[in-house]
């Protein structure tokens, strides 16, 4: 499997891909010190900086799994006061639309996205509906789950939203989930 990483941070998804035996083709990260870390840790991967200035069409049809933890600052519960939670209308969390552009350019088989669990509630749920609508427009179905760090033994509860999108051509029975479908294969 081939993997491309957006909003890569210090390479959490890239490391998981490596553990799975997938080939990390590229990562895309804005922060210079994180880019330097990624280049050192994943020297065979192509390194991109600013997602807004990156053309991903050279990867069209060559990436099996595209992952990205798009910025959460505008969806975080820490933004309850002051300017409030702008969600997808915010400058940071709104970079989700750059992820959509990258998906359009790359056309990966599968997509994994991560954000704060509050993304489900921002703007009365409108933002998550917008995200699902955008994925459907591109030909993907999606499932999501909120996971807490404590579920895997961490000493804190930090809840995160994980979304997996797959081609609409994958037909599941009404009671199936994509995760159960994969277990049967």
CB-count burial class (<10 Å; 0-12, 13-18, 19+) for 44: exposed
Active-site residue 147, yes or no?
A: no
Helices (H), the chain: 12-20, 32-41, 96-106, 126-137, 178-184
Given 6, 17, 72, 100, which residue is catalytic?
A: 72
Tokens coding 168: 């609409």
111-140 burial, b if ≥16 CB within 10 A, otherwise e?
bbbbbbbbbbbbbeeebbebbbebbeeeeb
Q: How far is CA 163 from the centre of its chain?
A: 7
Residue 94: Cβ-neighbour burial (10 angstroms; 0-12, 13-18, 19+):
middle
- Give me the active site residues, please: 72
């Amino acid at each position: 499997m081939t993997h491309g990483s957006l909003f890569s941070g210090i390479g959490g998804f890239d490391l998981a891909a490596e553990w799975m035996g997938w080939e990390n083709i590229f990562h895309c990260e804005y922060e210079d010190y994180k880019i330097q870390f990624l280049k050192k840790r994943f020297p065979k991967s192509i390194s991109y900086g600013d997602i807004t200035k990156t053309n991903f069409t050279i990867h069209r049809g060559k990436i099996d799994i595209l992952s990205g933890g798009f910025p959460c600052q505008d969806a975080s519960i820490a933004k309850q006061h002051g300017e409030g939670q702008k969600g997808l209308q915010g400058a940071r969390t709104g970079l989700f639309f750059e992820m959509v552009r990258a998906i359009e350019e790359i056309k990966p088989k599968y997509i994994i996205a991560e954000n704060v669990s509050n993304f489900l509630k921002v703007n009365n749920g409108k933002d998550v509906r917008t995200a699902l609508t955008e994925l459907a427009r591109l030909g993907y179905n999606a499932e999501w789950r909120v996971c807490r760090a404590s579920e895997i033994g961490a000493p804190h509860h930090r809840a995160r939203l994980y979304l997996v999108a797959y081609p609409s051509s994958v037909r599941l029975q009404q009671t199936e989930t994509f995760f159960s479908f994969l277990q049967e294969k």
